[in-house]
Amino acid sequence: MGYGNMIQLRPKFFPFRYSIVFLLVIVTGSVLYAQDSVDVMKTPAHAWMKKLSYLEGTWEGEGQVPGAGKYVSTMTYTADLNGHIIRHDYRATQEGKVVWRDQGLIAYDADAQKVLALTIGIDGTCGEGEGAVTDSGFSITGHTSGETPFKDWRTIVTFINDTTARTRFEYLKGETYEFFSEELMHKKK
């Protein structure tokens, strides 16, 4: 195709270009209108997530795992996205050595009216759960995929006072949840 043929083809593309510009104007206008209606940057967290803001900060505790002994733990909670999620970073140590670590987040599903949790372990396991928040704490029941003997679990956190909480871990054995470990956590910051 020579240069002369390209000049002849260009006018055919002008209507297409104008339609792209028109579409961009409409989409941009729609986005700006939606932002005028609701300022998404200031959307407050759901009431249940506000109750969990109590967790923000660093917590330290001690626990014991049957057959594995005592451990020291640190849990850091950080709110993000206007308080719509709370991220966590957990680590357990024995004699100064990290024996377990996981990270994840907690969020609220307003349609289902339940708390959702996702946790990724240092061993690559992935736990997903859901639960409820009360005035005295929260509980999450979930399932972990990957190489773990603890597939189905429940975590129960009970607020004792402004700086103390008890965390209980249970695993499903048969049709009942059995005790695995419990930590008494103290808020440091």
Class for the domain spanning 47-187: mainly beta
The 8 Å CB, 24+ separation contacts for 166-173 are 167/61, 167/63
**Residue 119, pLDDT score:** 94
Q: Please give the model's pTM, rounded to 2 decimal places.
A: 0.72
Cβ neighbourhood burial of 180 (10 Å; 0-12, 13-18, 19+): middle
pLDDT of residue 3: 45
Query: Is it the case that residue 9 has pLDDT exceeding 50?
Result: no
Whole-number average pLDDT of the chain: 81
> How far is the CA of 160 from the CAs of 167, 168, 177, in angstroms?
11, 13, 23
Task: State yes or no: pLDDT of 111 exceeds 90.
Answer: no
Asked if the model's pLDDT at residue 28 lies above 60, the reply is no
Query: Each residue of 154-163: pLDDT tens digit?
Result: 999 999 998 9
- C-alpha distances out from residue 106 to 5, 37, 44, 115, 171, Å: 61, 28, 16, 7, 20
- The domains of the chain are located at 3-41, 47-187
Q: Give residue 102's pLDDT.
A: 95
